[in-house]
Structure 1
Amino acid sequence: MSAKEKAFHQLQRWIIDGTLEPGEQLFDAELSEALGISRTPVREALQLLQTQGFIETYPGRETKVTTITKEDVPKIYPPLAALQALAAEEAARKIATGDIRRLVDVNNDYRTAIGEEQLFQAMEHDEQFHDLILEIADNPYITQFSSILQLHVRRLKYVFLQQPVGSKTESVLEHERMIRAFENRDSETAAAIMRQNWLRPMQEVYEVLVRAEQDSSSQKRRISKGDNGSENRNSQ
């Protein structure tokens, strides 16, 4: 792996998992030191991250991690749901018995991780389930266009991981229904369940972000009132 690739993958991972927080300002010298590589590959990696929408660059001013807002949710999930539904439709026509067994095994691992509240491992098993379907569909265009959207969704999934386990258990059941559709070679049902599997958490993530924005606004108002009260007391 080249220095640029190393920088790109590590910075991308830090942005996705929140190590580099939304809105955080980035300095190539600091990142270079943290990664143990020179500044040139770091700058090249930042350019790639900008094209993917993970950072914003204002020449001569600043470079920062893009923020996550509720408005991003309905822009990201529906296109990905449509692509994944198409993958499920194609996979249903090609799937083999061995593929079914692999999907069952991965979904069982997903269920176990949720039951043990190993939420990050659960997310990885969920992604592995969907990656297997992309592999079975064997359509490089679907895979390519899905990949970047999935990375942005993974940022949003870190929000979803904080929700009650019951909401994630529903995803396991949807996977089971999808597997049955694959066994029956029912491409229409497989596609419909896949679409639901993406659009249901979309609404849940959206509601979480709305509550977070409301809480943040309320906190700012309380702080503002507190400051004003302090000023009033001082003036008296």
Structure 2
Amino acid sequence: MPVPQTGGAPARELLRDNVYASLRDAIVDGTLAPGERLRDTEIEAWLGVSRTPIREALLRLERAGLVISHPGRATIVAPFDDATTHHAQQIAASMHELAARMAVPALSPDHVTQMRRANAEFAASIADGDTEAALRADDRFHDVLVRAGGNPMISDVLETVTPLLRRVERLRFGSFAAHDSVTQHDAIVDAAAAGDAELTARLCRENWLSLGSARG
């Protein structure tokens, strides 16, 4: 078929995704605090977009557990909630467990090097008290197995549940408990390097279930 000459649909998708990402990141990093009211007019002024992509983004954030909508009244940033966090942990743990089980047989020495490097950066960031850098390094560490696993649907699921957990991780990675994650990562790399897919999968699951409660 001929290539369409109009690019309206991709542009709309990009706009909607950008609004979602901006709101998601502001919630995760605490710029928009738990319980804060989200007003369409204020978001319009902030992001310079119309109400339609804002409402679409808010619906998506509600499905991810980051906002709560009270029809006819208000939409607010979701408070920390242990039950919701635990549900997200269960999904994330299962996805990372599956990714690890699929990835280990396909791992190369370079994959293992990437994981060790990411964990070294993770440990250094925690020692420096740089929570943002620690989160980025943690993402790089786990992403090695997710990408090597080769199942794009795992990434799609994780994109939905991970932002909710990022708020909890910000608390954990700013505390002494974060050092436990460094040790857990080391054990994951050792198991992966040894080619033990089942042990790697179990350790990944335990790592994601160890975040603790929403109150840190």
TM bucket by the smaller chain?
A: 0.7 to 0.9
Map of 2:5 onto structure 1: none
Among 70, 76, 79, which residue is 2:88 paired with?
Answer: 76
CA RMSD after TM alignment: 1.8
How far did residue 152 of structure 1 move?
Answer: 1.0
Q: Percent of counterpart pairs with the same letter?
A: 28
Per-residue deviation, residues 56-82 of structure 1 (Å, max 9, x unmatched): 222222111222122223222122112
Q: Is the 8 A contact 1:114 1:122 kept in 2?
A: yes
Matches of 2:130 and 2:112, distance apart in 1: 24
Per-residue deviation, residues 151-202 of structure 1 (Å, max 9, x unmatched): 11112212223422xx212211221111111111101111121122112223
Map of 1:176 onto structure 2: 186
Q: How many residues align?
A: 204
Residue type of the partner of 1:88?
A
Map of 1:186 onto structure 2: 196
The structure with the largest helix share of the pair is 1
Q: Provide the secondary structure at the position in 2 that maps to 1:26.
A: coil
Map of 1:44 onto structure 2: 56
Q: Is the 8 A contact 1:92 1:181 kept in 2?
A: no
Q: Is the 8 A contact 1:89 1:191 kept in 2?
A: yes
TM-score by length of 1: 0.79
Residue type of the partner of 2:54?
V
Larger CA Rg, structure 1 vs 2? 1
TM-score by length of 2: 0.86
Equivalences for residues 67-146 of structure 1 within 5 A: 67-146=79-158
How far did residue 41 of structure 1 move?
Answer: 2.5
Against the structure 1 CA distance between its residues 72 and 50, is the aligned structure 2 distance closer, same or farther, given a 3 Å change threshold?
Answer: closer
Matches of 1:73 and 1:3, distance apart in 2: 28
Matches of 2:16 and 2:156, distance apart in 1: 21
Matches of 1:64 and 1:25, distance apart in 2: 4
Map of 2:211 onto structure 1: 201
How far did residue 51 of structure 1 move?
Answer: 2.9
How far did residue 122 of structure 1 move?
Answer: 0.8
Structure 1 stretches of 4+ with a deviation exceeding 3 A read: none
How far did residue 54 of structure 1 move?
Answer: 2.0
Q: Is the 8 A contact 1:83 1:146 kept in 2?
A: yes
Matches of 1:103 and 1:125, distance apart in 2: 10
